[in-house]
Amino acid sequence: MKGEVVTLPDSEICRRKFRETFKTLSDPTPLFLPDCVKAYKKGTLVYSEGTCMKGCYFVYEGVVKIYQTGNEGKEQIIKFAKEGDIFGFRSVILKETACTSVETLSDCILCFIPDTVLFQEIRNNPEFAYELMQIACKELGESNRYIKDIAQKSVKERLAEILLLIAHDFGIEEDGTLKLSISREDLSNFVGTATETLIRLLSEYKTEGLVEAKGRKIKLLNPEKLKCLAGG
Write down all domains in the chain, each with its CATH number in brackets.
Answer: 11-150 (2.60.120.10), 153-230 (1.10.10.10)
Judge whether residue 53 has pLDDT over 80: yes
Q: What is the mean pLDDT of residues 110-116?
A: 93
For 40, counting Cβ atoms within 10 Å of its Cβ (0-12 exposed, 13-18 middle, 19+ buried), the class is: buried
pLDDT averaged over the chain? 90
Query: Which pLDDT score, from 0 to 100, does residue 54 have?
Result: 94
Closest CA to 32 of 9, 44, 15: 15
**DSSP state for residue 96 in the 8-state scheme:** -
AA letter at 204: E
Query: Which pLDDT score, from 0 to 100, does residue 29 have?
Result: 64
Please report which confidence band the pLDDT of residue 5 belongs to, taking 50, 70 and 90 as the band edges: low
Q: What is the mean pLDDT of residues 54-72?
A: 93
Secondary structure E strands in the chain: 37-40, 45-47, 55-61, 64-69, 75-81, 86-87, 101-104, 108-114, 211-214, 217-220
pTM: 0.89
Q: What percent of the chain has pLDDT over 70?
A: 95
Query: Which pLDDT score, from 0 to 100, does residue 232 have?
Result: 59
Q: What percent of the chain has pLDDT over 90?
A: 69
